Structure 1
């Protein structure tokens, strides 16, 4: 997921999602204007090509590297 959001399709998805939140805020008005805050953040991170989730996790280069970085969990204990 981090690889997708850091790539060009994820960047476009953040921009489109941010524009959609702004459109809802403009059309509905009232309390819906609160949607403009995350909408602005999504547009800004999309334009800057910056994925904030990359700060929480080490950004892997591909899926196999990500799967190798996960710690195994024993659910039978």
Structure 2
């Protein structure tokens, strides 16, 4: 639960974006089948940039980041 709470935070958003960029760069450098990592990296970038946490529903929390964070401040 602590990991999901972190991923929904502002710092967690930045971690997801940076991890996504690293995966995309790694995929481009390695090429071949490694380019599949670029798709995963794009999902991480989008999740951070558009403020949603894909793991939140596993904890019974809303997908949208702003609504997700409200559940921890109430």
TM range (shorter): 0.7 to 0.9
| Larger-gyration structure (1/2) | 1
Q: CA–CA distance in 1 between the matches of 2:58 and 2:50?
A: 18
Give the helix-richer structure, 1 or 2.
Answer: 2
Deviations 1:15-70 (A, max 9, x none): 000000000011111111010111010000000111010011123517xxxxxxxx
Bigger relative CO (Cα 8 Å, ≥ 6 apart)? 1
Query: Which sections of structure 2, spanning at least 5 residues, go unmatched?
Result: 62-70
Query: Which sections of structure 1, spanning at least 5 residues, go unmatched?
Result: 63-77
**Aligned length, in residue pairs:** 62
Query: Over aligned residues, Cα RMSD in angstroms?
Result: 1.3
Q: Among 55, 59, 77, which residue is 2:57 paired with?
A: 55
| Shift of residue 8, structure 1, vs aligned partner | 0.7
Normalised by the length of structure 2, the TM-score is: 0.77
**Corresponding residue for residue 31 of structure 2:** 29
Normalised by the length of structure 1, the TM-score is: 0.74
